[in-house]
């Protein structure tokens, strides 16, 4: 470090050059360089660990996607259904072969039917590993206007959920002649012409 002329020793002849002065404190620069190098080394180690975890994650994802349980999970869809309507009833048949009757629920809210099912199955293999299968579906249907919403019935057989609603009994159509009445304020054409002639 160079010393300014202010701090120079007062000798009879002023010195025309600056003197080198040493600090009593240790120099800090090597410590900061060491800290920066350590931080860079830790950042590089962290980057390598993140890359390793990413590789492990990719391998696990490939393994899971190749197992049968993954295909079972991806195959879970809403069950197919068939609507039939004949003169006496409205019938809905759902293919629920993967569900037990106690896993199915049918709720009615006004003219809407809410059909849902939930199935869980855990299979354990001999080697200690296991697969887990979970299926769930929900379907909402609007009942037609010409059925009796209070008479909904459900039955389950051979993997089919059948919902039946009887049609409304229409009253017998009878023919009648409807009389036409005229009000006193309305005058016919003959009455008007008779008044004009008078």
CA distance 66 to 130: 15
Q: Using pLDDT thresholds of 50, 70 and 90, give the confidence band for residue 163.
A: confident
- pTM of the complete model: 0.46
Instruction: Judge whether residue 6 has pLDDT over 80.
Output: no
Quick check: 162 and 97 in contact, CB under 8 A? no
The percentage of residues in the chain with a pLDDT greater than 90, rounded to a whole number, is: 9
CA distance 78 to 92: 15
Instruction: Judge whether residue 179 has pLDDT over 50.
Output: yes
Residue 82 is predicted with a pLDDT of 80
Q: Using pLDDT thresholds of 50, 70 and 90, give the confidence band for residue 48.
A: very high
Q: Using pLDDT thresholds of 50, 70 and 90, give the confidence band for residue 18.
A: low
CA distance 48 to 54: 10
Cα end-to-end span (Å), the chain? 138
């Amino acid at each position: 470090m160079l010393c300014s002329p202010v701090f120079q020793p007062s000798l009879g002849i002023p010195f025309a050059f600056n003197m080198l002065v040493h600090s009593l404190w240790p120099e800090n620069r090597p410590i900061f360089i060491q800290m920066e190098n350590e931080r860079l080394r830790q950042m590089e180690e962290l980057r390598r660990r993140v890359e390793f975890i990413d590789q492990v994650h990719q391998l696990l994802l490939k393994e899971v996607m190749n197992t049968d349980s993954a295909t079972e999970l991806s195959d879970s869809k809403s069950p197919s259904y068939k609507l039939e309507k004949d003169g006496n009833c409205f019938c809905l048949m759902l293919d629920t072969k993967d569900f037990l009757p106690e896993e199915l629920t049918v709720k009615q809210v006004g003219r809407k039917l809410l059909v849902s099912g939930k199935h869980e199955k855990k299979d354990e293999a001999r080697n200690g590993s296991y697969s887990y299968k979970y299926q769930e579906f929900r379907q909402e249907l609007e009942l037609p206007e010409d059925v009796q919403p209070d008479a909904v019935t459900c039955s389950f057989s051979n993997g089919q959920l059948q919902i039946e609603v009887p049609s409304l009994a229409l009253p017998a159509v009878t023919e009648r002649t409807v009389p036409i009445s005229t009000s006193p304020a309305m005058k016919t054409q003959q009455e008007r012409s008779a008044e004009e002639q008078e």
